[in-house]
Amino acid sequence: MGKKMEYTPNGKIKAALRMVFLRSRERAKRLKADGYCCQRCGIKQSKAKGREVKVEVHHRDGVCNWAEIYEAVRKNLLNVEEMETLCAGCHDKEHGTDEATKVIGKNHVGSTGL
């Protein structure tokens, strides 16, 4: 077994971003707008046994330069020099929130570490 890398590998970043894309509202909106049909041949998505057809959402111009994306993620999110460890209370104060303003079930950055 090899030594662990000092930084998050590109493949792990790409996999995480792919999961965000696959679950995104924008992707779902595109599928719905196109009626779950291929825009080139017109075939429709099907889950019928024996007649399964999958459709994918394609980026016409491709995804921009992956090297730039990795660099941006490392610079703005994974930069260890710009991180510090805080308790949940201090983290909430840093972001101008407190326990009384939290709503259970809502997306809240307060105590997620972001």
Cα separation values, 89 from 38, 102, 110, Å? 50, 12, 9
Q: Would the pLDDT of 113 be above 60?
A: no
Q: How confident is the model at residue 111 (pLDDT cuts 50, 70, 90)?
A: very low
Residue 24, amino acid: S
Tally the residues of the chain. 114
- What pLDDT, in 10s, does the model give residues 40-81? 999 999 999 999 999 999 998 888 789 999 999 999 999 999
Please tell me the predicted confidence (pLDDT) of residue 99.
60
Please tell me the predicted confidence (pLDDT) of residue 104.
46
Euclidean distance between the first and the last CA atom of the chain, given in angstroms as a whole number? 32
Question: Would you list the domain boundaries of the chain?
Answer: 10-81, 84-114
Q: Would the pLDDT of 103 be above 90?
A: no
